Amino acid sequence: MRRIRTGRAFIAAVLVAVLFLIYLAQNGSFGAIEALGITNAALPLALVAAGETFVILTNGIDLSIGAVVTMTNVTCALVAGKGHGILAVLLALAVGIGAGLLNGLVVSYSGIAPLIATLATSSIYTGIALIVLPTPGGTVPVWLSNVTAGSVHSVPVAAFWLVGGIATGWAILHRLPFGIYLQALGGSESASWSAGVSVVRIRILAYVASGFYCGLAGIILAGLTQSGDPTIGAVYLLNGIAAVVVGGTSLVGGVGTISGSILGALALALVSAVLLVSGLSTNYQYIVTGLIVIGALLASSLQSKVELRRLAHEPASEEAAA
Amino acid sequence: MKSRLPRTYVRPLEVAVPFALVVVALLGGWLTTNGFLSSNHLSSLGQTAGYVGIIAIGETLVLLLGGIDLSLPYTINLAAILIAGFQAGGMSSTSDILLVLLVGAGIGLANGIGVAVLGISPLVMTLGMNSILQGVSLIYSSGSPVGQAPSVVTTISTGWWHQIPYVDVLWFVLTIVVTLVLVFTTFGRGIYAIGANRRASALSGLPVRRTVVVGYVLSALAATVGGMLLVGYSGQAYLGQGDEYLLPAIAVVVIGGTSIFGGKGSYVQTVAGALLITVIESILVTVNVNQSGQDILYGGIILAMAYVNQVALGDRARLGPLSVRLGAFRGWLEPVRRRPEADSPRNPTEGS
């Protein structure tokens, strides 16, 4: 069982390695500048994808991630622009958590499908973001830029965030009861319910986690761009889901990893970097991304099939017994 | 013979509710705005609703099948860019239109094969396709689309006859055709059956894969027609032309009361949904609600209508509270060929 799960993140890891080698071959060298560019492009997407993973693990979907990123981004930039840096970060996180909480409550108590519920709240959050900051603007304090876009001894700060994200995600999913219940819920809601898992609470927490991670992404985007933009989140909706899929998380829930999603985001960021150094038009990036997303899903479904067949043919082994 | 019509196809209450709301919304407009019910304004409302309505034909069929099509934005945009680009190339209008329709059918075919034959989840397949089409649109147009719509498309899209927009005549004809096909043909009834229970349909010998593929082809064709009409409306093609239609195309289907889990609903309800959202948006504009207010109300309307249609009218009455929650998470994400219970074994606490 564990083998299947690590195998799923494995596809994204191979993809990252291959893309990185192509990048290296095309560019000739890989230094601090290149690392900074790639990790800075990947970081917000990785955070959004990590958040979306929690929701997809419950067999739901959160289409409001882009709007939540926008809403927290403009909140952070607006408040920080008035000179309250710490307050801006805390407020933006609170906005993200609040948005996730609303999603979780609507999905859990109204019976409306997550797809429709989060599509609707996405529209609402976009509207709120436009009220907060109708046009791009606001500023962020220098320290916020430094902890997001800076480098420490030529290692990008974003790399630390990415490693931290992978470690935290692993700990949440495999060491905390919440993570175990989350995967159980996605695997079989009725079985989890029978086993005494509070499915409603776990599901709401999953949406809250999504909101929290989107809040982080919004703050980091504010740090990277040094301003707020009421349209900044739109691209993170589809790319965020794409990164989760490339990361090998099953869309029907129950199987997936945060590290896979973060590697998926890194792979998508590498695609545009590779195209850029190859001298190809970045317009090809959309085609390559689309093919990678579809291909990754095909590959992982093929992989589970092979894995299943192997398990079926070895009934005496431990995995098959489990 | 009437008794042989399953209740799924004809649900008078569910058709009547959204249409009644359209009347209420029109009355609301009449009360708040002078000349809201003037023939000129009604015509322009009908025209606006026509574009969304025609585009939503495909999404209705695909949602009835229990799938979803997220490749609409760039199917629309590619159709728009191609028709204008072909015209700039100086070929005849007829061959251009046919060629664009052919491209549209090809897009739908690829989606359908991906979903029905390769077993890719509809969400990912159409999401990936949208990205691919975005790249194709950018590369074909080099970032700046050229050309104009053929005159015949412009006429259909913006022409009038005694205050009746031609696009509404087209919409009306398509509505009748789609409804007749859904209710009276084997293909149409197959869509309901497959949407309601894919495995049972396959075991009963329905051509599940073929029906799903055709459903996605029709979805892409509807978006293609919509894209061409939009070029006729705006006079030229531009990048991002389809972006604003993804949310409305799904929203009008849901507002009309078609279940996104498949098997329940009808295109007539989607027509009501398109009319309703157009009238409400028009009211919001005339009473000077700004963009942010419109967005917020839009989301609120979707939530409210989804609640009324899917919970109050439908599912909750039939099922217990827990199974409603279960139902809300099953169905639309699955690959066509098999149920998730049948494949990937999950035992999440294992091995950690």
Q: For residue range B95-130, list pLDDT tens digits in order.
A: 888 888 999 999 999 999 988 888 788 888 888 898
User: Domain-by-domain residue ranges, chain A?
Assistant: 2-22+39-308
Q: Determine the pLDDT at residue A95.
A: 93
Question: Is a pLDDT exceeding 90 seen at residue B221?
Answer: yes
Q: Determine the pLDDT at residue B235.
A: 79
Q: For residue range B248-262, list pLDDT tens digits in order.
A: 888 888 888 887 777
pLDDT over 70, % of chain A: 92
Q: Determine the pLDDT at residue B326.
A: 41
Element holding B33 (H helix, E strand):
none
Quote the CA–CA distance of A217 and A212 in Å, as a whole number.
9
> What sign for the dihedral angle of Cα A146, A150, A155, A158?
positive
Q: CB-CB: which of B132, B294, B307 is closest to A112?
A: B307
Average pLDDT over residues A232-242: 85
Q: For residue range A103-129, list pLDDT tens digits in order.
A: 998 888 877 888 888 888 998 998 898
Supply the ipTM of this predicted assembly. Answer: 0.79
Predicted TM-score (pTM) of this structure: 0.81
Per-chain mean pLDDT for chain B: 78
Least confident of A158-172, B12-26, B116-130, B306-320: B306-320
- Whether residue A119 lies within 8 A of chain B, CB to CB, comes out as yes
CATH architecture of A2-22+39-308: Orthogonal Bundle (1.10)
CA-atom Rg of chain B in angstroms = 21
Cβ contact, residue pair A252, B333, below 8 Å: yes
* Number of helices followed by number of strands (H, E) in chain B: 15, 2
C-alpha angle with apex B138: B137 to B143, nearest 5 degrees?
Answer: 130
Question: Is a pLDDT exceeding 70 seen at residue A72?
Answer: yes
Q: Determine the pLDDT at residue A317.
A: 44
Distance from CA of A25 to the nearest CA of B (A): 25
- Whether residue A289 lies within 8 A of chain B, CB to CB, comes out as yes
Q: For residue range B317-352, list pLDDT tens digits in order.
A: 333 333 334 443 443 333 333 333 433 343 333 332
Strand segments, DSSP code E, in chain A are: 151-152, 155-156
pLDDT band with cut points at 50, 70 and 90 for residue B313: low
Q: Determine the pLDDT at residue B316.
A: 42
Average pLDDT over residues A86-97: 89
Q: What residues of chain A, 79 to 98, have a C-beta less than 8 Å from chain B?
A: none
Q: Determine the pLDDT at residue A7.
A: 62
Q: Determine the pLDDT at residue A68.
A: 94
In which residue are the tokens 């431990």 written? A318
Concatenating the DSSP letter of every residue in B267-326 gives HHHHHHHHHHHHHHHHHHHHTT--HHHHHHHHHHHHHHHHIIIIIIIIIHHHS-HHHHHH
Concatenating the DSSP letter of every residue in A219-251 gives HHHHHHHTSB-TTTTHHHHHHHHHHHHHTT--T
Question: Is a pLDDT exceeding 70 seen at residue A187?
Answer: yes
pLDDT band with cut points at 50, 70 and 90 for residue B171: confident
Question: Is a pLDDT exceeding 60 seen at residue A253?
Answer: yes
Q: CB-CB: which of A1, A115, A298 is closest to B332?
A: A115
Q: Determine the pLDDT at residue A138.
A: 76
Quote the CA–CA distance of B121 and B69 in Å, as a whole number.
11
Question: Is a pLDDT exceeding 80 seen at residue A73?
Answer: yes
- Give which of A180, A236, A251 to mutate to test B binding, by max B Cβ within 10 Å: A251
Question: Is a pLDDT exceeding 90 seen at residue A14?
Answer: no
Quote the CA–CA distance of B345 and A24 in Å, as a whole number.
39
| Lookup: tokens for A305 | 């099939």
- Give which of A62, A105, A124 to mutate to test B binding, by max B Cβ within 10 Å: A124
Question: Is a pLDDT exceeding 70 seen at residue A321?
Answer: no
- Name the CATH code of domain B2-340 (choices 3.40.50, 1.10.3470, 1.25.40, 3.40.390): 1.10.3470
Quote the CA–CA distance of B319 and B327 in Å, as a whole number.
9
Distance from CA of B7 to the nearest CA of A (A): 23
pLDDT over 70, % of chain B: 84
More confidently predicted of B240 and B72: B72
| Lookup: tokens for B194 | 């497959």
Cβ contact, residue pair A297, B291, below 8 Å: no
B191, B184 in Cβ contact below 8 A?
A: no
Question: Is a pLDDT exceeding 80 seen at residue B315?
Answer: no
- Whether residue A303 lies within 8 A of chain B, CB to CB, comes out as no
Average pLDDT over residues A282-306: 80
N- to C-terminal Cα separation, chain A: 8
pLDDT over 90, % of chain B: 11
Other Cβ atoms closer than 10 A to A308: 14
